[in-house]
Amino acid sequence: MSWDFETEPEFGAKLDWADAFVRDEVEPLDLVWPDLVFTPPDEKLRKVIDPRKQAVRDQGLWATHLGPELGGQGYGQLRLCLLNEILGRSSWAPVIFGCQAPDTGNAEIIAHYGTAEQKERYLRPLLDGEVFSCYSMTEPEGGSDPTQFKTRAVRDGDGWVLNGWKFFSSNAKTASFFIVMAVTNPDVSPYQGMSMFLVPADTPGIEIVRSVGLGYEPRGEGAHALIHYRDVRLPASALLGGENEAFVIAQTRLGGGRIHHAMRTIGQAKKALDMMCERALSRHTQGGKLSDKQFVQGYIADSYAQLTQFRLFVLYTAWEIDKYNDYRKVRKDIAAIKVLMPGVLHDIAQRALQVHGALGASNEMPFTRMLSGATVLGLADGPTEVHKMTVARQVLRDYRPSDDMWPTEHLPKKLAAARAKFAAHLEHEIGNL
């Protein structure tokens, strides 16, 4: 059958297991250890985390984004989407299931471009969930425009010397290694003149100046580092992929990362919709339940429709990735999803907050955090504006300019052509009148 909106029963059973497991065994971790998600666990925490990771492995759901050659099940992106919708409800769930960002994207590029030695040293522990990694590209003076990047890696004998500043390098303070993008040929466009390096976190010369938090987090306690790389000496073996190939590699990484965020966003938005509906059915005001009020019904209907549209688009794009096995061929739809994602989460979380009244605005409910998360989704992995430009460029590729004075669909022109086509009939009709 070429179109099928059903999940195979075997995988459906695994999703049911994951749904209950995340609710009962993982979501409670978010409440007790909210700040330790990306921290290598100490012995005490291991006693809690390791059995849960093992339960996931026993179900064959560990690192499902990976193919069998890397220890995954090769389920593909479509099934991963169905699973990620569940994992998106919890901060801890991606770590417990071995598919957390940014490590998934980082693992993907090491798997694609790494040497055997690099895979052994960096990829294996990453896939085993033993270490965390950091992707260090954005700079204080430029994020979305690579022509502003200034961090340089200069050849020094067999190796390299790295100098520069990076900003918003997530999880730097707990990562075992960084993937750093640096200019290696300043005489050409950055798209042709930057390279990627695998840099162990304890390499001399790396200074984490401070860890920046998001809006709602206490100052100085965030996960996004300002890093000064000062005369960091790297061996030749630190180069990931070919020299000056950073942008080709980055596309491999960011494509997967973006759609995985979208999959998890479905889970969060669904959680907000669930809360909105429960509250609407539970709360009485002015002679009836909130669910009887048409404004509230409008919130629910709009949210359901918006979420379902978005979900189908994400599932379709995941299906396309499985089909082509090449993110570049699905660039347009990945970018379009990235554009929609912040709005979907924002709108549904905002309505859910509103339906909860003052409680919704309080720190006893998760809505303000969701709203802040939605804002961030419009920046991380590139701002919405830039992705809109990508969508438009890709859409326009399928069109050609009109070579006539008038547009192709100009009605007088089309009418003249249609009349010419049916001229014989028109004359005949007229003749019979």
Ligand X SMILES: Cc1cc2nc3c(=O)[nH]c(=O)nc-3n(C[C@H](O)[C@H](O)[C@H](O)COP(=O)(O)OP(=O)(O)OC[C@H]3O[C@@H](n4cnc5c(N)ncnc54)[C@H](O)[C@@H]3O)c2cc1C
Chain residues in the site for ligand X (CB under 6 A):
102, 135-138, 142-145, 168-170, 224, 376, 379-383, 385-386
* Residue 351 CB neighbour total at 10 angstroms: 23
Closest to 229 (Cα-Cα) out of 102, 103, 121, 139: 139
Choice between 168 and 177, CB closer to ligand X: 168
Q: How far is the CB of 386 from ligand X (least distance, A)?
A: 5
Choice between 261 and 356, CB closer to ligand X: 261
Q: How far is the CB of 385 from ligand X (least distance, A)?
A: 4
Q: How far is the CB of 417 from ligand X (least distance, A)?
A: 40
Per the CB < 8 A criterion, the answer to whether 276 and 355 are in contact is yes
DSSP structure string for 75-95: -HHHHHHHHHHHHTT-SSHHH
Q: How far is the CB of 372 from ligand X (least distance, A)?
A: 10
Token readout for 325 is 């096995």
User: Rounded to whole angstroms, how far apart are CA atoms 14 and 83?
Assistant: 9
Per the CB < 8 A criterion, the answer to whether 40 and 131 are in contact is yes
Q: Closest residue to ligand X, Cβ-based?
A: 143
* Residue 169 CB neighbour total at 10 angstroms: 26
Choice between 40 and 142, CB closer to ligand X: 142
* Peptide bond just before 190 cis, omega within 30 deg: no
Choice between 57 and 388, CB closer to ligand X: 388
End-to-end CA distance of the chain: 53
Choice between 25 and 103, CB closer to ligand X: 103
Choice between 25 and 381, CB closer to ligand X: 381
Q: How far is the CB of 143 from ligand X (least distance, A)?
A: 2
Contacts of 43 (CB under 8 A, 6+ apart): none
Choice between 102 and 255, CB closer to ligand X: 102
Q: How far is the CB of 102 from ligand X (least distance, A)?
A: 5
Contacts of 362 (CB under 8 A, 6+ apart): none
Radius of gyration of the chain (CA): 26
Q: How far is the CB of 142 from ligand X (least distance, A)?
A: 6
Q: How far is the CB of 268 from ligand X (least distance, A)?
A: 14
Choice between 348 and 377, CB closer to ligand X: 377
134 bridge partner residues: 178
Choice between 92 and 168, CB closer to ligand X: 168
Q: How far is the CB of 134 from ligand X (least distance, A)?
A: 6
Distances (CA, A) of 107 to 61, 112, 227, 329: 17, 9, 22, 21
Contacts of 433 (CB under 8 A, 6+ apart): none
Contacts of 106 (CB under 8 A, 6+ apart): 126, 133, 135, 179, 253
Choice between 75 and 167, CB closer to ligand X: 167
Per the CB < 8 A criterion, the answer to whether 45 and 36 are in contact is yes
183 bridge partner residues: 152, 194
Distances (CA, A) of 373 to 79, 215, 261, 293: 25, 10, 11, 29
Q: How far is the CB of 171 from ligand X (least distance, A)?
A: 7
Choice between 84 and 136, CB closer to ligand X: 136
Q: How far is the CB of 150 from ligand X (least distance, A)?
A: 13
